[in-house]
Amino acid sequence: MPDVGPAGDSGREPADGDETAVLGELLEERPRGVNLEPGRASVRRLRSGMGGHDVPAERVELELGEDALDDGRRRLGRTAAGELSLGGERQARDAGASIAGSFADEQQRPGGVFFQMGLQTTAPDLGVRSVTVEVERHADARGRQLRYEPFRLHVVTMLMRVRGRTAALVAACAVVGAPTAAAAPPQGLQSNASFAASYAERGVTAVAATTQRVSCYTPEVVYLGSLTPSQGYPDGGSTLCNGAASTVEDIGPYPTQDVANPPTRAKDFSESDLHVDPTNARHLIGVSKWIVNAEGYNHLTGFFESFDGGATWPQQGHIPGYEGWTDNSDPVGAFDPWGNFYAVVFPYMFSYIPSGQHFFLAPDVNPTLPRSVLGVAVRAKGAATASAWNTNHGGRFDLIERTPFNGNEVFDKQWLAIDTNRRSRHFGRVYVSWAIGNDDTGLRIYLSYADARASGTHTNWSRPRLVLPQARRVGDNGSLPRVAPDGTVWLATSSFSSGNEPFTMSFTSSRDGSRTWARRRVIVRHNVNGYRNTTFRAAFGEAFVVGPRKVGRFYPLYAAYEQSNPSGTRLFLRASFDGGRHWGRPRQINDAAGTGDALQPNLAVAPNGTVAVAFYDRRLACPARDTMEATIAGLLFDPRLPFGEANYCINTAVQFYRPKLGPIRHNIRLSEHTWDPQLSSPRFDCICSPASFIGDYFGIDSRGDFTYTASVATFNAAGENPGYHQQQLVSKLRTP
């Protein structure tokens, strides 16, 4: 497939409204009405991870002869038709009503499964098509029937490429806004040796925060596991706590549980968010998945806290109060103006069927609690113990919403932003957005808010309201709300239909505290088609932030995103300096002179206006055999023995920019050692599938003259991580 220029084939920057015309041309080139007969394709229905996807969302995979359709965006864990994707919910035209019309893929036909692809009526602003997939219905919670038959096992790597007979489907992947193959970063290319040396040269420090304490908790549902060191799990399966906890957290039993399971060690920690206290720049809190069994994807949300600028992390543990649910996921947090820390959690139920797959919203797990909720936990300023979190409001769970909601059963990808700007009319307001729906293409973005108080309490949560209308059979997820210094709320989101169409990154804004929202405007369309050589899944590949200082008359808007093509995955950055009316040309972020994917960008802007883009980088080859670095990376435990392998192992990196996007030198390496993403990797589908997970995002913040990131690493440099688990590596360097 030929590459498309930064603004389409001609390379020009599209004018407002051009995106629809260009994508419309692509639609006309694609065959209409492709039918896949039962004898030609096998369809399976799996619950993949929740949007971050921890909540197992369903996924559909096709097998065409020897080639498999690229799973595309379903690596995000989006659900197939008729399935629940954790954390997402469907849109309504207003806060109280469902959208008009029904979705073909929501019709219940338990007796059969077929796959049909064809063009659907497209929205004038997005111009996309959808795929209709019909599958068996969900388990009947009321009748408490455990239906295992939907799980048709077909183990296949989610990262297989699209080839041969599926080439016609790839035509739709030509993207408005995709960069050309000849594009190079404005700072120029950098040699691998220079990048490798930049960790020391730029004075980066990094600590594996989650190795500094031993955390335990009692899971509602136990999964023991059976993978071995030779399969990439040096410390595979569950490990009982046996008095090893050093966090002084409550390890159970818990009043919300209806079982008496033994306390288990939290061993893997991925998918993080990190924030610096606006009242004390040496105080940081990060949140991440707190995983007791990577094979079973069994986890709660946990936290790690520093009081000395990230050198030590004495307070950490799982966030208490929601242990009665099987899991909770998609960790995210933020400080309010007074130094209280808010975490939004997504607890949900599932059980394990004999194959190890997740039975999402299983009715027999702790039946007195809702099947899933969107909850809040507040850590008040000055909290002195790991268990000092408040999860109650008005004498009940501090819940924003619970399912079912407008007839939908799934929440997904929550995020929050807090207005810390004293000149804002809504100073202290806490905004929480998330997706609601029953399937991927029915997901819609809703938002609720409450006003925080200096005491660490808050007002009641507002009634959730739809943020953006959306065309039928087009889904929205991965919302990112941000608050400008004048109190304007900006929100970016990803839109998608079924199949291999590109993502559309768009945004809206509210100037009245989220009561009304401006019309949707497109930032970019881009491909996120997965990564080569390894099995960890792709995510949305998008980041969005608002600058704290005006550039001209407006606060700048910055958007970073992945762009995949046959040569690999690169990262690009765009900015708007006129309130989102126009976006500048994309600038490539990663500056590797050779090969190597760059992925999962995240953005922060320092108080001085310096822009930081952090990302995972695979330009450095895995360490060579019989070297100390290979031992530190644990490559002998990887069944693929990737010694010297290119585009396989990972480092964390950052690129700094001036407010108008002038690059400040080159990419900087933030991890002292290269690490292997295949080791101890959570199986978000099940033990029966090799598809794995390093998190769908990681944390970054810039404040107090320093930039911090919290990302995954599996290396064992000095005996601190002998099981080569996914740990939270917190890196720190001075902000230019």
- Between 594 and 670, the more confident residue is 670
Record the tokens describing residue 313, joined without a space. Answer: 């992390």
In terms of phi and psi (left: phi > 0; alpha: psi -120 to 50; beta: otherwise), the region of 339 is left
- Between 430 and 22, the more confident residue is 430
Q: How confident is the model at residue 130 (pLDDT cuts 50, 70, 90)?
A: very low
Predicted local confidence at residue 634, as pLDDT = 98
Strand-pairing partners, residue 299, are 291
- Between 452 and 501, the more confident residue is 452
The answer on pLDDT for 81 being more than 60 is: no
Q: How far apart are CA 484 and CA 494, in angstroms?
A: 21
Cα separations (Å) of 718 from 166, 196, 211, 629?
A: 48, 20, 11, 12
The candidate with the shortest Cα–Cα distance to 82, out of 44, 4, 138, is 138
Record the tokens describing residue 383, joined without a space. Answer: 């909290």
Q: How confident is the model at residue 183 (pLDDT cuts 50, 70, 90)?
A: low
The answer on pLDDT for 448 being more than 90 is: yes
Q: How many CB atoms lie within 10 A of CB 155?
A: 12
Record the tokens describing residue 11, joined without a space. Answer: 């390379």
The answer on pLDDT for 599 being more than 90 is: yes
pLDDT, tens only, 261-279: 999 999 999 999 999 999 9
* 582-592: average pLDDT: 97
When mean pLDDT is compared across 135-144, 239-248, 548-557, 569-578, the lowest value belongs to: 135-144
Q: How confident is the model at residue 548 (pLDDT cuts 50, 70, 90)?
A: very high
Q: Is-contact 8 22, C-beta < 8 A?
A: yes
Predicted local confidence at residue 404, as pLDDT = 83
* 64-69: average pLDDT: 27
**Cis before 464 (ω within 30):** no
When mean pLDDT is compared across 38-42, 435-439, 489-493, 679-683, the lowest value belongs to: 38-42
- Between 724 and 171, the more confident residue is 724
Give the β-pairing of 727-734 and 205-208. antiparallel
- Domains in the chain, ordered, with CATH? 192-734 (2.120.10.10)
When mean pLDDT is compared across 222-226, 289-293, 635-639, the lowest value belongs to: 222-226
The answer on pLDDT for 720 being more than 60 is: yes
The answer on pLDDT for 693 being more than 80 is: yes
- Between 411 and 169, the more confident residue is 411
Predicted local confidence at residue 207, as pLDDT = 98
Strand order in the sheet with 131-134: 35-36, 114-117, 131-134
Q: CB-based burial of residue 414 (10 Å sphere; 0-12 exposed, 13-18 middle, 19+ buried)? A: buried
Q: CB-based burial of residue 84 (10 Å sphere; 0-12 exposed, 13-18 middle, 19+ buried)? A: buried
Predicted local confidence at residue 602, as pLDDT = 98
Q: Is-contact 87 411, C-beta < 8 A?
A: yes
Predicted local confidence at residue 405, as pLDDT = 85
Strand order in the sheet with 727-734: 205-208, 727-734, 706-713, 699-703
Predicted local confidence at residue 686, as pLDDT = 87
Predicted local confidence at residue 585, as pLDDT = 96
The candidate with the shortest Cα–Cα distance to 659, out of 608, 701, 725, is 608
The candidate with the shortest Cα–Cα distance to 717, out of 673, 680, 682, is 673
* 570 membership: H or E segment, kind and range: strand 568-576
Predicted local confidence at residue 566, as pLDDT = 86
Predicted local confidence at residue 70, as pLDDT = 30
Q: CB-based burial of residue 237 (10 Å sphere; 0-12 exposed, 13-18 middle, 19+ buried)? A: middle
* 682-694: average pLDDT: 91
Q: Which residues contact 384 (CB under 8 A, 6 or more apart)?
A: none
Give the single-character DSSP code of 500. Answer: S
Q: How far apart are the first and last CA of the chain?
A: 40
The answer on pLDDT for 590 being more than 50 is: yes
Q: What is the dihedral of CA 51, 54, 58, 59, to 10 degrees?
A: 70
Q: Which residue has the tokens 């230019």?
A: 736
Q: Is-contact 433 467, C-beta < 8 A?
A: yes
The answer on pLDDT for 549 being more than 60 is: yes
Query: What are the start-end ranges of the H helices in 598-639?
Result: 628-633
The answer on pLDDT for 703 being more than 60 is: yes
* 547-555: average pLDDT: 98
The answer on pLDDT for 515 being more than 60 is: yes
Q: Which residues contact 564 (CB under 8 A, 6 or more apart)?
A: 526, 527, 528, 529, 530, 538
The answer on pLDDT for 554 being more than 50 is: yes
pLDDT, tens only, 350-399: 999 988 899 999 999 999 999 999 999 999 999 999 999 999 999 999 99
Q: How far apart are CA 408 and CA 90, in angstroms?
A: 6
* 19 membership: H or E segment, kind and range: helix 18-29
Q: How far apart are CA 638 and CA 533, in angstroms?
A: 13
Q: Which residue has the tokens 């700007």?
A: 421
Record the tokens describing residue 549, joined without a space. Answer: 């200082």
pLDDT, tens only, 602-629: 999 999 999 999 999 999 999 999 999 9
Mean pLDDT in the chain?
A: 80
Predicted local confidence at residue 36, as pLDDT = 27
Predicted local confidence at residue 399, as pLDDT = 97
The answer on pLDDT for 471 being more than 60 is: yes
**Which pairs from 223-229 meet CB under 8 Å and 24+ separation?**
223/293, 223/295, 223/296, 223/298, 223/352, 223/356, 224/293, 225/293, 225/294, 225/295, 225/296, 225/687, 226/295, 226/687, 227/295, 227/687, 229/637
* 503 membership: H or E segment, kind and range: strand 503-510
Give the β-pairing of 475-483 and 489-496. antiparallel
The answer on pLDDT for 250 being more than 50 is: yes
Give the β-pairing of 399-402 and 396-397. unpaired
Give the single-character DSSP code of 680. Answer: T
* 414-418: average pLDDT: 98
Q: Is 23 helix (H, G, I), strand (E, B) or coil?
A: helix
pLDDT, tens only, 293-342: 999 999 999 999 999 999 999 999 999 999 999 999 999 999 999 999 99
Predicted local confidence at residue 461, as pLDDT = 98
- Between 166 and 685, the more confident residue is 685
Record the tokens describing residue 306, joined without a space. Answer: 């520093």
* Helix (H), strand (E), coil (C) string for 366-381: CCCCCCEEEEEEEECC
The candidate with the shortest Cα–Cα distance to 437, out of 152, 29, 58, is 58
Q: How far apart are CA 676 and CA 604, in angstroms?
A: 26
Predicted local confidence at residue 7, as pLDDT = 32
Predicted local confidence at residue 501, as pLDDT = 82
Record the tokens describing residue 89, joined without a space. Answer: 């919910």
Q: Is-contact 65 199, C-beta < 8 A?
A: no
The answer on pLDDT for 464 being more than 60 is: yes
